[in-house]
Amino acid sequence: MPVVNEQAQLVGVLTRRDIRERIEREGNSVLQRALGELVRGETIETYPDQPLRVVVYRMAETGFTRLPVLDGQHSRKLVGMISLHDLLRARTRSLEEERHRERVLRIRLPFAARGPAAVDRST
């Protein structure tokens, strides 16, 4: 889950795993702490102009299945989140479009096709 400030800039992220590990270490007292104390400040993020394969590689390298999408390299403004599910859906759509482009079209000729017996063999 991304955590942003009043200007919608990314402050950090908090994952379910982070919460679970903190509860295991510190008990339920974690639930009384401020959100800002729990977030991890070092984030793995992506940008709107990055190719999807870069995002897939980043997810595979880090093990995260959701990444915050920031406005730009120097801006920390959060514009959205992208998940592994989003990437799989985009890949499925791409494969369907490719299959549609490559489908075989039946061509009907306005005249009768000649069979092998009708081929002129006089040459």
| Separation of alpha carbons 114 and 112, rounded Å | 6
The answer for residues whose C-beta is within 8 angstroms of residue 92's C-beta and 6 or more apart is none
Question: pTM for the complete prediction?
Answer: 0.65
Which domains are delineated in the chain?
2-100 (3.10.580.10)
| Separation of alpha carbons 100 and 1, rounded Å | 37
Q: What are phi and psi of 52, to 5 degrees?
A: -60, -30
Task: Print pLDDT tens along the chain (123 aa).
Answer: 878 888 888 888 888 888 888 888 888 777 777 777 777 778 888 999 999 889 999 999 999 899 999 997 777 899 999 999 999 998 898 888 888 877 766 777 777 656 555 555 555
